[in-house]
């Protein structure tokens, strides 16, 4: 019977740890960590993610500020809001919820964020620090996956890990972290993507398989080695229902452990963001 890597259970435990740290800060007369989020437009998925992040802040004792801008906001106006957050010393960290509407240059927005407050860990300075193993904000989804592996004591050292997907927010940083000389790293990592040939042959070698593709139920038992640990990052809405990138029913009797969708990585991504905000409150460096 496969172990279910429950993001729900792990998140409860990590949030308790965060709550304790916040209480300690307050007892030391330090301010509560303060996260801000900029949400542009009314995309239902983005709105739901941001609402979830605000709820999380409340739960662990953080302050939160939501800046909601119309979807026809001008690039300059968005940058002004970012500059306001950069200079507001009461805000420790903030995120700009992606994706942004057409007409907004995401790269320019990213570069306008103060790297010290970039709790999504997407600014090139923080990506570079991650790659060099320096203290930084880790991108929330790969960070959350490392915490999930830690919670369930899944050993990664010397294991063959295959990551599917090379996005800047999930697959690419995941491959860097898993191959780094860190706790829950030290794996031998293969990063695969849409141009990879014979994907099934590659994934069949994976002791740990991380699927971040964005295609519902794409990974079935033909891709899986017996006893593999499978982390399903995909969040795909099909007729109003959430599906992962992995066909859970097809693989559940072969794998040794698997994260469900929903109730898996999504909740851990939110924990990653809370951890980064806590770090921001202490100062990244």
* Residues near ligand NAD, by CB under 6 A: 141, 164-167, 169-171, 192-194, 196, 199, 212-215, 233-236, 265-266, 269
> 189 - beta bridge partners?
161
Q: Would you say 164 or 258 has its CB closer to ligand NAD?
A: 164
What minimum distance in Å lies between the beta carbon of 277 and ligand NAD? 16
What minimum distance in Å lies between the beta carbon of 153 and ligand NAD? 21
Tell me if 274 sits within 8 A of 59, measured CB to CB: no
Tell me if 174 sits within 8 A of 210, measured CB to CB: yes
- 80 tagged catalytic: no
List 15, 56, 118, 120, catalytic entry: 120
List 15, 97, 118, 245, catalytic entry: 97
- 150 tagged catalytic: no
Q: Would you say 94 or 143 has its CB closer to ligand NAD?
A: 143
List 53, 118, 245, 247, catalytic entry: 53
How far is 204 from 116, CA to CA, in rounded Å?
40
- 97 tagged catalytic: yes
Q: Would you say 167 or 188 has its CB closer to ligand NAD?
A: 167
- Position of tokens 């989020």? 37
Q: Which residues does the annotation mark as catalytic? A: 53, 97, 120
């Amino acid at each position: 019977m496969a172990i279910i890597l429950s993001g729900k259970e792990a998140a409860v435990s990590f949030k308790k740890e965060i709550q304790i740290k916040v209480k300690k800060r307050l007892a030391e007369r330090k301010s509560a960590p303060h996260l801000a989020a900029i949400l542009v437009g009314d995309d239902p998925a983005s709105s739901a993610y941001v609402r979830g992040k605000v709820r999380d802040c409340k739960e662990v004792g953080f302050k939160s500020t939501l800046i909601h801008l119309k979807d026809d906001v001008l690039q300059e106006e968005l940058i002004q809001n970012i500059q306001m957050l950069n200079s507001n010393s009461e805000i420790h960290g903030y995120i700009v919820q992606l994706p942004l509407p057409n007409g907004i240059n995401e790269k320019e927005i990213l570069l306008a964020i103060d790297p010290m407050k970039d709790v999504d860990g997407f600014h090139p300075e923080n990506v570079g620090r991650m790659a060099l193993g320096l203290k930084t904000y880790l991108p929330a989804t790969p960070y959350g996956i490392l915490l999930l592996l830690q919670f369930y004591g899944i050993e990664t050292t010397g294991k063959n890990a295959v990551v599917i997907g090379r996005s800047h927010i999930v697959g690419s940083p995941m491959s860097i972290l898993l191959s780094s000389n860190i706790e829950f790293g030290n794996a031998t990592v293969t990063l695969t993507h849409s141009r990879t040939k014979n994907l099934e042959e590659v994934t069949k070698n994976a002791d740990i398989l991380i699927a971040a593709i964005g295609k519902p139920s794409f990974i079935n038992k033909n891709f899986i080695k017996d006893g593999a640990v499978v982390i399903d990052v995909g969040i795909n809405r099909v007729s109003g229902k959430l599906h992962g990138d992995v066909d859970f029913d097809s693989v559940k009797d072969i794998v040794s452990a698997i994260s469900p969708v929903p109730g898996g990585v999504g909740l851990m991504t939110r924990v990653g963001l809370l951890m980064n905000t806590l770090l921001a409150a202490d100062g990244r460096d």
